[in-house]
Structure 1
């Protein structure tokens, strides 16, 4: 009998998902599956629930939510033999999009039922895991505004982009140094990706792969507002590299030092994060997580 634990974020996306114990029992026959459904109640609660599920010898642990929920659950499964299942009921669903896991509930559950795992790479920033991407500059500011919104919808995301766009030139001077040889003064965007999808099917790194053992790095220096808008169009076309100022390369690790601002702000898998650390080490663990696809 397969022991499957579902960790559900009840407010993910619109908060109107149909996931329930009754529904799960309809898809997973009681004679073959032991189903446990757990609901998170606050930030980081999904991590606590996952720890308990590991101790309860779950065979599969399923993250039901957006990229933030997936990050909390998956971070505890890195380096273990327990596969991660994903039911994408969040707003962006970047990792699920990359793995071609459908948002249609029945189809997502069918993937879990088939139980066919694959190994993917995992990013690490100062000992914290990420699975899709991390971003500094504009993307971090967007997520800061997005986190403050009452709902997690596409409309709220666009509003967050608008606020970040007009606030960009009002911030204090920040200098970022990468691996002691690249110095960026007030970079518009500094993006490190393990996946080729950010969320809402958008991509800054369309060539990125979860299985190539490399991180994709995209840097956009301080540019005019007109070029910011042009980059926005290229983003929708999935051709950000067409902007001549864009610098793009691949690496297995990089060290970032910040000068100027007292707080290091970033978005990590779509969640806003702050640290007072002046130096950030970003690295990759190859084939460190089992995911059902």
Structure 2
């Protein structure tokens, strides 16, 4: 999507991305258009359900609501349902009318389009896991946790959108040397890690401190942050199948978080029966 070479430092990247128009999924744009045609029957919950399937629209809504009459907000808006309620149905559709879609923006870069769609699919999966586990933990605000998981890899999504050549280079280096750490490769290619970019964007968009904390690995001792991190990890490790060697460790950590055994976890994940024999071993035997 960039017509010029990508920026060279973190500050310039933040300036570029925080001021750019974020494209959204074509499917999201289609669902919004269908809802707009029946606006008299559309509820805030209907809109929220659409937004929570698309990390790019979700961040657009959050960034906008933080700047929208922010001096008069009595408390931070930390979920999409509250943001939609604050905006109202009609103003929401006016604000997000005729959006640019990913498929249009990257139509001439099929490899980039495929790359970003794969990452978004992973974030959607992570959000579903996080929502399910937060509900099981009786979290006071399940949607905050699910939203944090949906947005946790936003910087990677944006890299595929605005500098796909860099995203491809990072992916190629990691595939060529599986022992390399992602952050190290990202710093070698970009000069900074995507986690650093993500945090800087959160500050630039003035996102609520709660959401920033939920996406911050430095706060991993908190159960809600663990929920987000484990959902993100399992989605990343399982997106190409259930054979990644890291998955047993993921399972053990999730079992500890939810205080359940392996059989219950596999049931919650609704995995295909043919996968169960290889994943059913539970050395910890957590009950």
TM-score under structure 1 length normalisation: 0.29
Report which of the two has the higher share of strand.
1
Report which of the two has the higher share of helix.
2
